[in-house]
Structure formats: C-alpha cells, structure tokens
C-alpha cells in the first residue's frame, strides 16, 4: 500500500514515538520500524524483567550475562561517551537514576544515606564487556545499568537504517524528542523550559540530521523552592546543577547526540562546548538565567525565536556563541 503521508504513533522507551513517512510511504516499512523499536525496548528497558539490562543488573556481583550483539554495541558506545564526558554520562549510575525516579514519583526526597550509597555503586571502569564471550558483568552487588539516556538514540539510528535500506526519500523519526530528519528540510520545535509542555522556545530547520534534546524540565519535582529532576550528576548522586535547563544537539548519530546531550546537561556549557566542537556537533543551550546560546554553525537554521519566558524573566536573550 502506497500513501502520500503515513504516520504511526506508539509507546516504547517510556515515551511516545512517531514515525512519519512522506512520499513513497509504505505501511510494511512503518511496521518494520515499529517492530524493531519494540524489540530494542524489550532488550534495553530496566522495566522489562527479562531484558538484557535487567538480567545484567540482577546478576551484578554474581556472574557475567550473555547479551544480544545490539546490547553489546550500545554498551560499548555508552562507555565511550562516559569517558569523553569525564563520567558525566554514566550508564552505571543506574542505582542513582532509580532512586531519583522513585523520588520523582513520590515527590519525597531520598535520604542522604541512600543517595551516598547509590552514588558509590557507579563505576564506568567496573563494567566488564567480554567481546569474545559476548557477556557483560557488573562486579559489585547492587550495581545497576540504565540505558534511559541513550536507548532512544540508538533505536532512532536503526530506524533510519531501515528507511535507507528501502530508499525512503522523506521521513521523520521522533522517538520521544530524539528526532532524525531524512530528506526534505523540516522545522523541529525546541521546548521552552520555562513554559508548559508544547510551548516552543523556537524552531530549528534541519535536513538529513539528528536533533536531540535533554532537559531537566522534563521530569522532576519542586520542594521548598528547589527543583529535583531526572538527570543525575554521577559524581554527587544528586540531580545535576550545571545551570543548563536544556541542551539540544544537532549532528549525524542520534545515539551519540542522545548520550552527549544527557552528559552535557551534567557537565555544563563551559566543559561541554569544547567536547561538542571537537566532534562537529552544533548545540542550543538554554540556561537558568533565560539565556539561549546557539553555536555559530546554526546561524540561519534557528527560526521564530520566541522571547517569552517564565514569570521570573521578562525576556529571553538569544545569542550566537563565537567560533
């Protein structure tokens, strides 16, 4: 069946995912992409008891676990992003992620002792990936992997592989804000972190690129005027306090952008920018002072800037960073 535009919306990775095909749209291809994404969800999710990641976590401190080659691939890349961000992106900080997920759910702060204990369980250098055996091992009991910061990016890259295999000219993959635009240019909205969900700070026009946003505004709660959210600083075990409310990255690999966007939310602008520059990644930073800082490579791509902000700020300031 060939339609002009075909769209499929489905839940996975704890979010809403959309596949849109323009021209040469084919229902079979859309179904294949969805099936693949659901397979990856089953493999990577900490909420699925039989997933590769849940099995690794259950066997922490006990024995190595055989995993699918896709899991191995994502884990090895995630470790590399961990090293590039000096541990700001750390998939082994899963115990802290879980603790804060529960805190966000209940609206109650975890105890200092629990925060410290979970923080002590991280260990990028502990994780043993045995390529020859195809096994993964966390040596200490209680250690946990969490791929929530990278899984959608990997799945989006895979979706693009399928689209390319079938020579689909125009399509947009949007896996919970991890977006890839194939073919004709599209405008992608950037959430205004000071406003309710759906209110855009501006649009960015891209083609044949991935755009990924990580933001502390996405999930969290406020207690006595302080905000606690889901992006954890692995070094402290507390939600990140880099001053960045959101980081949007534009580049080629959605998986790399996904990992680095989460990591740069923790690292902050000063340390994040040189890393992104080295890797040829463009960025839009929105900080808690209401400043929107845009890398020079995006001049001309940033559209419809909205200067509205939260009650604390009258105006948002937009500016391009120097080369």
Q: Which residues bind ligand AMP (CB under 6 A)?
A: 88-91, 93, 97, 146, 148-149, 214, 230-232, 234, 258, 261-262, 266
Least CB distance from residue 124 to ligand AMP, whole Å? Answer: 10
Least CB distance from residue 51 to ligand AMP, whole Å? Answer: 14
CA pair distance 107, 240, nearest whole angstrom: 17
**Could you report how far apart the first and last alpha carbons of the chain are, in Å?**
48
- Binding partner of 230, given ligand AMP, Mg ion, none, CB within 5-8 angstroms per partner class: ligand AMP
CA pair distance 230, 238, nearest whole angstrom: 9
Q: What are phi and psi of 168, to 5 degrees?
A: -75, 120
* Cα distances (angstroms) measured from residue 257 to each of 184, 248, 263: 21, 9, 10
Q: Whose Cβ is closer to ligand AMP: residue 147's or residue 182's?
A: 147
Binding to Mg ion by residue 149, rule CB under 5 A? Answer: yes
Least CB distance from residue 259 to Mg ion, whole Å? Answer: 6
Instruction: Please give the residues from 71 up to 110 whose contact with Mg ion meets the rule CB under 5 A.
Output: none
Binding to Mg ion by residue 176, rule CB under 5 A? Answer: no
Q: Whose Cβ is closer to ligand AMP: residue 137's or residue 175's?
A: 175
Q: What are phi and psi of 270, to 5 degrees?
A: -55, -50
Binding to Mg ion by residue 246, rule CB under 5 A? Answer: no
> For 56-113, what is the HEC assignment?
HHHCCCCCCEECCHHHHHHHHHHHHHHHHCCCCCCCCEHHHHHHHHHHHHHCCCCCHH
Binding to Mg ion by residue 263, rule CB under 5 A? Answer: no
Q: Whose Cβ is closer to ligand AMP: residue 247's or residue 298's?
A: 247
Binding to Mg ion by residue 193, rule CB under 5 A? Answer: no
- Binding partner of 90, given Mg ion, ligand AMP, none, CB within 5-8 angstroms per partner class: ligand AMP
The tokens of 164 are what?
């390319």
């Amino acid at each position: 069946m060939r339609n002009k535009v075909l769209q499929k919306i489905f839940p996975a990775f704890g979010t809403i995912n959309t596949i849109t095909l323009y021209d040469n749209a084919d229902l079979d291809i859309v179904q294949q992409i969805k099936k693949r994404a659901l397979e990856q969800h089953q493999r990577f999710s900490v909420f699925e008891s039989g997933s590769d990641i849940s099995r690794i976590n259950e066997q922490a401190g006990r024995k190595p676990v055989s995993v699918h080659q896709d899991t191995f691939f994502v884990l090895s890349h995630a470790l590399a992003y961990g090293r590039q961000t000096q541990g700001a992106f750390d998939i082994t900080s899963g115990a802290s992620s879980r603790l804060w997920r529960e805190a966000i759910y209940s609206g109650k702060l975890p105890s200092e002792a629990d925060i410290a204990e979970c923080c002590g369980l991280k260990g990028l250098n502990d994780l043993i990936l045995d390529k020859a055996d195809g096994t993964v091992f966390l040596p200490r009991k209680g250690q946990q992997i969490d791929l929530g910061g990278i899984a959608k990016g990997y799945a989006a890259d895979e979706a693009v592989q399928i689209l390319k295999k079938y020579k689909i000219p125009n399509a947009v993959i949007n896996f919970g804000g991890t977006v890839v635009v194939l073919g004709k240019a599209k405008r992608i909205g950037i959430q205004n972190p000071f406003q309710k969900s759906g209110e855009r700070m501006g649009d960015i026009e891209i083609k044949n690129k991935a755009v990924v946003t990580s933001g502390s505004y996405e999930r969290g709660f406020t207690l006595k005027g302080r905000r606690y959210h889901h992006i954890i600083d692995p070094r402290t075990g507390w939600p990140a306090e880099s001053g960045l409310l959101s980081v949007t990255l534009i580049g080629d690999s959605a998986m790399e952008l996904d990992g680095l966007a989460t990591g740069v939310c923790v690292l902050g602008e000063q340390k994040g920018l040189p890393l992104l520059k080295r890797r040829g990644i463009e960025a839009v930073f929105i900080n808690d002072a209401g400043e929107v800082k845009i890398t020079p490579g995006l001049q001309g791509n940033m559209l419809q800037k909205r200067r509205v902000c939260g009650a604390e700020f009258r105006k948002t300031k937009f500016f391009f960073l120097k080369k």
